[in-house]
């Protein structure tokens, strides 16, 4: 019998102080080395069956140390002699019970001991308590965890887990397969929509589609009022494809992309993508990109050896803008055409989340039926395929540019191209009618109750103001208004009318005018000279009643028109200077000397903490807040509505067949939708533009109601704008010619090493060097809060004047800082009165040129993209102003500050407000000194003489109720959104 012990060392977990009690001459580093060497030697001796070597090793002092360490653990006995041979080493850690430990036959037990020992010298102290844990949680964490013993064997448990995993994977696979089948099932009935978008000025989408029709020789349908071509491809299992050939009109392209399954970009082998093509791509990316396919035109006009280089260049351009490998096709031959169609018919279109939450329809026919009562109002009939979600007759629908309408009925119709799934309908059958009790209302605004307020009787000031107004109405009295020097009476009346609009917009605040004097409550900070001009009060009141669309037909003389133009240029220059000042010194203003600061800044308040100081969101609200709607919990309502939409098909299956026929229509069904109360004039305007896609989208519940919409917007960086201006000017001679007298060219020419001339894109990229520190944003690109912009929000477009605020995380008081300008490269939050939108919903913002800017450039300016955040009227947007002062004398922590105020009473008024410096110091006003507004202040540390003392004051601002639907042609000329195209003679030469 051989007696030996085999060890596996992985080694000890004890503190040095505790080990030294049991092991003499303890050296942790030496112990680790000795233990490792002992392990190696014993294994070598065991494997070589060297019994003499084993006998020598077990008598080493190292074993005594190991025995002391192991026996120190509870219920563990160091056993190193036993009878029997060990065939194979087993790494087992044996912990004995008390009974086994005291048993006499322990020494005869076959036992291999694994010593788990971690050697370290670091002392482990008790950890700190968790900040937010309760006492029960802390006590529970101190206890040892004991697993509940299961009756099932480990092998059975692992087998069941493996079966469960297989079943879960199988269910997930079936679910994905079912979703894919459902996505493709619609295309057994409805065609795939392909929007043909020309990016270059020498390509024609109509000729491209006609070329495809010529090569395929398939049956097709078209309509005289709608520019849509539908073809059936018998070669590809009778699949239908619907082409929308588009002109170079930005809004038409964006409308087509909203419903398109594929976007087919037309590129040219001769001309590069111009600035308008870049604008199209940026707008599509902001709205939502469907599946992308591209085709090259005029490739045969180039040499054969250059074809590969041209394709590679265009491929790189597309991959720069759109992720993934992009497919490029040529349609010069029949086989190329079939290759492109094969790719389109075999692909599953990309999912666009915001679009698939709604039902939508691309109209193939549009008809108008006058009502019995009058010919001017009647029913508008849209014919097409239902897409997205099932369409309910109870929901409202939105027609682009015309607003929200109720559905009168939904009836059946014969599809123009028959499939196996489409049956011939001999007569029109009503499929769905709205339920009057469940049908959504067209109510947009809440009806305010003017008597439901804290104030039930007018004040004396309001009564006096009403009396003066009555006198003016009866007598036609002249009023004196403070206006810039040289202003005519005609301009003065408009300045007076615009005073109400300027409430809360600028730093000046509200302007109140009396018959004899101007109120001191609010003032204008302009340095321009002022004079009093008489204006007729009747003319003023008449001007107030005019709507936005009314025009003044009065012809002005040459001098007066010249004077107005000079005033316009001064206003532009002032706006540009304000934008630069806001960039360098944000929110800083000078305290006026002629008006007390306590009067000038009466509406402002100080906050100890911008994020945590309380601010009641329902105090001093404007009257417009009584017209809007607010959710108790918008996030919960949104989740509930979207969940109902996602489960709509399941709900329809649970309903009986009769109720389903009365309320909703399935996706992919070809039908006719009758819209109530549509005007004949609107129909004539709708059918006048053949190339504009006719769309209708269904609205989710509450989406027709007005609220305060908060959306994020990200503006391109200054370098991107500078590069766009420089390259755009070099790529487009027409744009360059329009910039001759504009501030854009002047801004570009001020940049060193920047040459703006005509040339190729490659030359522009190689020769143009932009230094951003010298580049100034052109005035056309300056965007100020409450400037009019065009907001494309999902399937709706509005002209509005949003206010911008910082896009920061909400503090406990939900207060956000107002931003005067939308600076390049920043992400901000816009707030505006708009109908309710449920996210996800993309936002794209454009700035339209006004009458004067249209003389130099009539193209829309791309402002930025974003998405809908919330519909939260309680979001507090505060305008911040910073009053600055200069340290006059500094003595330790005390300092004398001047130029912040000019009156001792103002110092006492703002004494409770905390002070800050630009170097990060904090302080407060201690007392007033003298009669010129000097004050003694105390700070946490000593000030430096070059530091600037600041006082932050805040005032809540609100958006203006001036949002309206945008209708192209009415609100803006159609050619504003059109890109340049090559003339017909040049096009014939290319052909």
Three-point CA angle 49, 52, 58, nearest 5°? 100
Closest CA to 290 of 205, 353, 209: 353
Model confidence band, residue 471 (pLDDT cutoffs 50, 70, 90): low
Residue pLDDT, tens place only, 352-381? 889 988 999 999 889 998 888 888 899 999
Q: What is the pLDDT of residue 24?
A: 60
Model confidence band, residue 70 (pLDDT cutoffs 50, 70, 90): low
- Comparing 609-623, 710-724, 743-757, 878-892, the range with the smallest average pLDDT is 743-757
* Residue 121 burial (10 A CB sphere; 0-12, 13-18, 19+): exposed
Q: What is the pLDDT of residue 458?
A: 65
Residue pLDDT, tens place only, 290-304? 999 999 988 888 888
Instruction: Please compute the mean of the pLDDT values over residues 32-46 and round it to a whole number.
Output: 70
Instruction: Please compute the mean of the pLDDT values over residues 920-947 and round it to a whole number.
Output: 91
Measured CA to CA, the distance from residue 784 to residue 847 in angstroms comes to: 11
**In contact, 279 and 250? CB cutoff 8 Å:** yes
Model confidence band, residue 710 (pLDDT cutoffs 50, 70, 90): very high
The residues, ordered by sequence, that sit 6+ positions from 62 with a Cβ below 8 Å of its Cβ are: 34, 35, 38
- Comparing 172-181, 297-306, 312-321, 777-786, the range with the smallest average pLDDT is 172-181
The residues, ordered by sequence, that sit 6+ positions from 913 with a Cβ below 8 Å of its Cβ are: 606, 925, 951, 952, 953
Residue 410 pairs in a beta bridge with 432, 673
Structural domains in the chain, sorted by start: 8-115 (no CATH), 183-356 (3.40.50.300), 359-444+634-702 (no CATH), 716-782 (no CATH), 877-956 (2.40.10.190)
The residues, ordered by sequence, that sit 6+ positions from 33 with a Cβ below 8 Å of its Cβ are: none
pLDDT at 738 over 50: no
Instruction: Please compute the mean of the pLDDT values over residues 275-298 and round it to a whole number.
Output: 91
Model confidence band, residue 87 (pLDDT cutoffs 50, 70, 90): very low
Measured CA to CA, the distance from residue 505 to residue 820 in angstroms comes to: 9
Instruction: Please compute the mean of the pLDDT values over residues 51-55 and round it to a whole number.
Output: 69
The residues, ordered by sequence, that sit 6+ positions from 690 with a Cβ below 8 Å of its Cβ are: 224, 225, 226, 227
Q: What is the pLDDT of residue 721?
A: 84
Stronger pLDDT, 561 or 212, i.e. the higher one? 212
Q: What is the pLDDT of residue 855?
A: 53
**In contact, 730 and 278? CB cutoff 8 Å:** no
Closest CA to 894 of 930, 931, 934: 934
Instruction: Please compute the mean of the pLDDT values over residues 808-825 and round it to a whole number.
Output: 86
Residue pLDDT, tens place only, 956-969? 999 999 888 887 66
Stronger pLDDT, 117 or 889, i.e. the higher one? 889
- Comparing 47-61, 119-133, 406-420, the range with the smallest average pLDDT is 119-133
| pLDDT averaged over every residue in the chain | 74
Measured CA to CA, the distance from residue 208 to residue 479 in angstroms comes to: 65
What count of other Cβ atoms lies within 10 Å of the Cβ of residue 682? 18
Instruction: Please compute the mean of the pLDDT values over residues 576-597 and round it to a whole number.
Output: 80
Closest CA to 788 of 847, 844, 842: 847
Most confident of 585-599, 847-861, 872-886: 872-886
State percent of the chain over pLDDT 70.
Answer: 64
Q: What is the pLDDT of residue 31?
A: 65
pLDDT at 925 over 90: yes
Q: What is the pLDDT of residue 501?
A: 38
Query: What DSSP character marks residue 364?
Result: S
Long-range (24+ apart) CB contacts under 8 A made by 463-469 are: 468/514, 468/515
State percent of the chain over pLDDT 90.
Answer: 22
pLDDT at 847 over 50: yes
Model confidence band, residue 5 (pLDDT cutoffs 50, 70, 90): very low
- Comparing 254-263, 492-501, 678-687, 890-899, the range with the smallest average pLDDT is 492-501
Instruction: Please compute the mean of the pLDDT values over residues 63-74 and round it to a whole number.
Output: 58
Q: What is the pLDDT of residue 645?
A: 77
Q: What is the pLDDT of residue 415?
A: 81
Query: What DSSP character marks residue 224?
Result: S
pLDDT at 541 over 90: no
Q: What is the pLDDT of residue 984?
A: 46
Q: What is the pLDDT of residue 513?
A: 35
Stronger pLDDT, 446 or 730, i.e. the higher one? 446
- Comparing 498-507, 658-667, 707-716, the range with the smallest average pLDDT is 498-507
pLDDT at 550 over 70: no
pLDDT at 201 over 60: yes
pLDDT at 492 over 50: no
Three-point CA angle 617, 618, 624, nearest 5°? 110
Q: What is the pLDDT of residue 166?
A: 86
Residue pLDDT, tens place only, 860-871? 889 999 999 999
Residues for the chain: how many in total?
A: 991
Instruction: Please compute the mean of the pLDDT values over residues 79-89 and round it to a whole number.
Output: 37
Model confidence band, residue 152 (pLDDT cutoffs 50, 70, 90): low
């Amino acid at each position: 019998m051989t007696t030996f012990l085999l060890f596996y060392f992985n080694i000890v977990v004890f503190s040095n102080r505790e080990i030294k009690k049991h092991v003499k001459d303890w050296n942790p580093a030496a112990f680790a080395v000795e233990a490792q060497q002992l392990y190696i030697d014993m294994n070598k001796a065991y494997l070589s069956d060297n019994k003499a070597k084993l006998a020598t090793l077990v008598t080493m002092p190292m074993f005594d140390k190991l025995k002391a360490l192991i026996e120190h653990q509870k219920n563990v006995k160091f056993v190193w002699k036993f009878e029997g041979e060990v065939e194979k080493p087993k790494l087992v850690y044996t912990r004995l019970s008390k009974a086994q430990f005291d048993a006499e036959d322990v020494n005869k037990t076959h036992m291999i001991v694994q010593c788990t020992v971690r050697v370290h010298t670091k002392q482990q102290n008790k950890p700190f308590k968790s900040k937010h844990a309760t006492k029960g949680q802390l006590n529970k964490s101190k206890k040892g965890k004991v697993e509940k013993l299961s009756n099932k064997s480990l092998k059975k448990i692992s087998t069941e887990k493996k079966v469960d995993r297989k079943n879960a994977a199988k269910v997930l696979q079936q679910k994905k397969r079912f979703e894919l089948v459902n996505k493709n099932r619609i295309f057994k009935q409805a065609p795939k929509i392909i929007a043909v978008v020309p990016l270059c000025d020498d390509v024609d989408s109509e000729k491209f589609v006609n070329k495809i029709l010529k090569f395929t020789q398939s049956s097709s349908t078209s309509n005289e009022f709608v520019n849509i071509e539908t073809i059936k491809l018998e070669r590809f299992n009778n699949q239908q494809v619907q082409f929308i050939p588009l002109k170079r009109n930005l809004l038409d392209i964006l409308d087509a992309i909203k419903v398109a399954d594929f976007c087919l970009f037309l590129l040219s082998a001769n001309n590069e993508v111009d600035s308008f093509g870049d604008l199209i791509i940026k707008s599509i990316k902001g709205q939502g990109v469907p599946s992308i396919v591209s085709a090259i035109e005029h490739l045969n006009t180039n040499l054969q050896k250059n074809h590969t280089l041209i394709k590679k260049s265009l491929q790189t351009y597309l991959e720069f803008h759109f992720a993934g490998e992009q497919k490029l096709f040529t349609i010069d031959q029949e086989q190329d055409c079939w290759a492109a169609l094969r790719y389109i018919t075999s692909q599953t279109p990309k999912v666009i989340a915001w679009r698939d939450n709604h039902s939508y329809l691309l109209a193939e026919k549009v008809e108008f039926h006058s009502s019995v009562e009058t010919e001017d109002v009647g029913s508008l009939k849209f014919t097409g395929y239902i897409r997205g979600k099932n369409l309910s007759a109870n929901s409202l629908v939105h027609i682009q540019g015309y607003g929200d309408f109720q559905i009168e009925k939904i009836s059946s119709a014969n599809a123009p191209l028959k499939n196996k799934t489409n049956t011939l309908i001999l007569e029109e059958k009503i499929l769905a009618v709205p339920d009057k009790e469940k049908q959504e209302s067209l109510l947009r605004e809440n009806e305010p109750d003017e008597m439901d307020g804290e104030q039930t009787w007018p004040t004396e000031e309001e009564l006096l103001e009403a009396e003066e107004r009555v006198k003016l109405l009866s007598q036609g009295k002249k009023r004196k208004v403070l206006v810039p020097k040289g202003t005519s009476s005609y301009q003065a009346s408009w300045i007076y009318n615009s005073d109400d609009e300027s409430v809360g917009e600028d730093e000046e605040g509200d302007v109140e005018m009396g018959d004899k004097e101007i109120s001191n409550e609010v003032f204008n900070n302009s340095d321009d000279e002022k004079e009093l001009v008489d204006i007729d009060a009747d003319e003023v009141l008449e001007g107030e009643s005019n709507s936005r669309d009314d025009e003044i037909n009065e012809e002005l003389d040459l001098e007066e028109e010249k004077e107005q133009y000079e005033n316009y240029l001064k206003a532009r220059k002032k706006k540009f200077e304000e934008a630069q000042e806001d960039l360098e010194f944000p929110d800083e203003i000078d305290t006026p000397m002629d008006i007390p600061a306590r009067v000038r800044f009466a509406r402002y308040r100080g906050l100890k903490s911008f994020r945590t100081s309380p601010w009641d969101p329902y105090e001093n609200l404007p009257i417009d807040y009584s017209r809007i709607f607010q959710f108790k919990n918008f996030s919960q309502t949104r989740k509930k509505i979207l969940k109902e939409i996602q489960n709509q098909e399941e709900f329809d299956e649970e309903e009986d067949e009769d109720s389903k026929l009365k309320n909703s229509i399935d996706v992919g069904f070809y039908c006719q939708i009758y819209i109530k109360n549509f005007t004949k004039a609107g129909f004539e305007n709708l059918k006048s533009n053949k190339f504009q896609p006719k769309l209708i989208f269904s609205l989710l519940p509450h989406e027709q109601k007005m609220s305060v919409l908060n959306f994020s917007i990200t503006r391109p960086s200054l370098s991107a704008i500078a590069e766009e201006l420089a390259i755009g000017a070099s790529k487009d001679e027409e744009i360059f010619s329009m910039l001759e007298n504009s501030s854009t060219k002047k801004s570009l020419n001020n940049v060193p090493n920047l040459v703006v001339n005509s040339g190729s894109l490659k030359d522009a990229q190689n020769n143009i060097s932009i230094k951003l520190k010298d580049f100034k944003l052109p005035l056309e690109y300056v965007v100020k809060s409450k400037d009019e912009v065009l907001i494309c929000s999902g399937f709706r477009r509005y002209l509005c004047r949003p206010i911008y605020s910082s896009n920061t995380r909400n503090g406990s008081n939900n207060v956000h800082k107002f931003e005067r300008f939308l600076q390049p490269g920043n992400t901000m939050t816009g707030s505006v009165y708009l109908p309710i939108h449920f996210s996800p919903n993309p936002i794209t913002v454009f700035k339209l040129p006004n009458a004067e800017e249209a003389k130099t450039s009539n193209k829309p300016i791309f402002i930025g993209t974003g998405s809908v955040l919330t519909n939260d009227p309680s979001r507090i947007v505060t305008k911040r102003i910073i009053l600055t002062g200069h340290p006059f004398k500094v003595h330790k922590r005390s300092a004398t500050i001047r130029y912040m105020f000019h009156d001792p009473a103002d110092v006492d008024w703002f004494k409770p407000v905390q002070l800050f410096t630009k170097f990060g110091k904090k302080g407060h006003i201690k007392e007033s000194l003298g009669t010129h507004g000097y004050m003694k202040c105390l700070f946490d540390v000593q000030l430096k003489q070059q530091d600037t003392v600041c006082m932050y004051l805040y005032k809540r601002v609100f958006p203006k109720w001036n949002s309206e639907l945008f209708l192209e042609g009415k609100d803006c000329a159609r050619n504003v959104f059109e890109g340049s195209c090559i003339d017909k003679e040049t096009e014939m030469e290319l052909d």
